[in-house]
Chain A
Amino acid sequence: GAVVSQHPSWVICKSGTSVKIECRSLDFQATTMFWYRQFPKQSLMLMATSNEGSKATYEQGVEKDKFLINHASLTLSTLTVTSAHPEDSSFYICSAGPLRETQYFGPGTRLLVL
């Protein structure tokens, strides 16, 4: 079946640094990818919709200058957490699909900011 990969699977960084997370569709092209954030024991919250070749659409309350999204190709979207702080520590998950009606989720990236 379709596979979506994320890299890295986990990352630890110092406060103030930036971290880039990649989301790749391995056997299909995706014009749209979605980024979610999951806090411990809580549901996934949609952060933004990543659109190939255009600007991402952010959900209310998500800082677009804090969470930079780049969807430079039909198989890759990146989420950059800029000037990361401890409160940004979380589990970040992407989804992608050949169609919006069918989405496959990546395994997630666990970020810990010290």
Chain B
Amino acid sequence: GDSVTQMEGPVTLSEEAFLTINCTYTATGYPSLFWYVQYPGEGLQLLLKATKADDKGSNKGFEATYRKETTSFHLEKGSVQVSDSAVYFCALSEGGSQGNLIFGKGTKLSVKP
């Protein structure tokens, strides 16, 4: 079945450092790919998404490119801030729906001042 594998955390960075959180997927069809963020004490929020190969999703300085050849959707940000400290989840969904999401295990990011 479909699955998502993302790098295990926790990840600790200094402010203004470059961030990469790796995410790879296995899917039988052509899934949509998502990154969700969960700030402490809050629910999951959609950070960005891409619905087809070579699409780049971006939001709040974060980017991820849908790479079909490597089945990857790595999350990157050029300069992290303390306020980016959260848990990040990679997810996929078949057919473009955000329902029936399959999540990775989540990566906790801590950014130190």
Binding site for B on A (CB under 8 A): 4, 32, 34, 36, 41-46, 49, 93, 95, 97, 100-108
Instruction: Determine whether the beta carbon of A44 is less than 8 Å from that of B100.
Output: no
Number of interface residues of B (CB under 8 A): 20
B102-113 vs A, CB cutoff 8 Å, 1 = contact: the mask equals 111110000000
Q: Which of A4, A93, A101, A107 gathers the greatest number of chain B CB atoms within 10 Å?
A: A101
A/B pair count, beta carbons within 8 Å: 56
Partner of A44, one of B45, B89, B96, B98: B89
Partner of B43, one of A45, A49, A107: A107
Partner of B106, one of A43, A106, A108: A43
Interface majority SS (helix, strand, loop, mixed), chain B: loop
Instruction: Determine whether the beta carbon of A108 is less than 8 Å from that of B43.
Output: yes
Instruction: Determine whether the beta carbon of A34 is less than 8 Å from that of B99.
Output: yes
Report the Cα distance A106→B43, complex, angstroms: 5
Partner of A105, one of B45, B96, B102: B45
Beyond A43-B105, A44-B89, A105-B36, 4 additional pairs, beta carbon < 8 A: A41-B105, A44-B103, A95-B98, A104-B43
Chain A residue numbers with a CB within 8 Å of B98 are 95, 97, 100-103
Shortest C-beta distance, A60 to chain B (Å), equals 9
Q: Which residue on chain A has the smallest CB distance to residue B90? A: A43
Partner of A95, one of B42, B99, B106: B99
B44 at the interface (CB under 8 A from A): yes
Chain B residue numbers with a CB within 8 Å of A49 are 99-100
